[in-house]
Amino acid sequence: MRNITIGSRKSQLALVQTYWVQGELQKLYPDRPLTVETMTTHGDNVLDVALAKIGDKGLFTKELELAMLAGLIDVAVHSLKDLPTKLPDGLHLAAITERVNPADALVVNQKYQNCQLDNLPAGTVVGTSSLRRLAQLRHHYPHLIFKDVRGNLNTRLAKLDAGEFDALILAVAGLQRLGMDDRIHQIIPSHISLHAVGQGALGIECRANDPEVAEMLQGLVHVPTHQCCLAERAFLRELEGGCQVPIGVNSRITGDTLTLEGIIASLDGQKLVRDHSSGSITNPESIGKELAHKLKQQGGEEILQEIFRMARAYTSGQAD
């Protein structure tokens, strides 16, 4: 019987997620040999530069995808928020797993245990590597100081505990998957910070010409999460956004209706447009596209063009 090799990044969180996928597949196919192969991605290697400044085209996925195309692995497990909305030719997003809490979390240094976001004092140093979080929090809390923080979850928490930061903004899902629920000081409400596209869900990728593996992965699909994330990814794809653009979403299903809320924000948080679109769960991508066009017409296009101009200027400066 053919062995199925599952590819993963080497970080603790990535491995927890990958071994969970391996375990779920083993329950479905108890006699099937399933092995895990780990590798390091470009995003794992470059830790001294802000994510938005090193590009977002497969930052944490490219090496896994190349290994799949070369036949070295059969499956790649990603945090869905890291997976670009346009996949390389020959690859297929075969499954989106059930989402855990997609919200952002406030994690604080010991001296701020009695504070929440709303009452953090002026000058509090908050670490985040996400422009999406940065723009939304700057919009609501301009008196706080925001600094970039890189590294895996344990590295970031060590920097917080050592006093390099007063607080961090992290994904609830990552903390929960690593059993660090006790570090969640506040779950940030969606009216303050909409989450990243796909946050809280896993995206499982395989080769497009491998129907055997694609069929196996169908058992991991969580249909409501799949529908919500297709809408979110269509929204992001239509805006041509990534980690260089502050774009946030929130999606929910009520009966047969899917509602997608989204924002586009300027880097400084001064400008922010926000709206929602609803439609049938049978056509989630149309909801995402509709919302993207709606926000563009409300001022989002101007925000995006300014961000793209700044990105081109930075890239040109680097080249010079």
State the catalytic residue, choosing from 48, 56, 82, 118.
82
What does the alpha-carbon distance between residue 6 and residue 206 come to, in Å, rounded to a whole number? 9
Task: List beta partners, residue 106.
Answer: 169, 186
Q: What per-residue string of b and e applies to 86-114 under the rule 16 or more CB within 10 Å gives b?
A: ebeeebbbbbbbebbbbbbbbbbbeebee
Contact between residue 97 and residue 209 where contact means Cβ atoms under 8 Å apart: no
Query: Is 161 marked active-site?
Result: no
CA torsion 247-252-169-65 (nearest 10°) is: -70
Type of residue numbered 114: N
Instruction: Give catalytic residue positions.
Output: 82
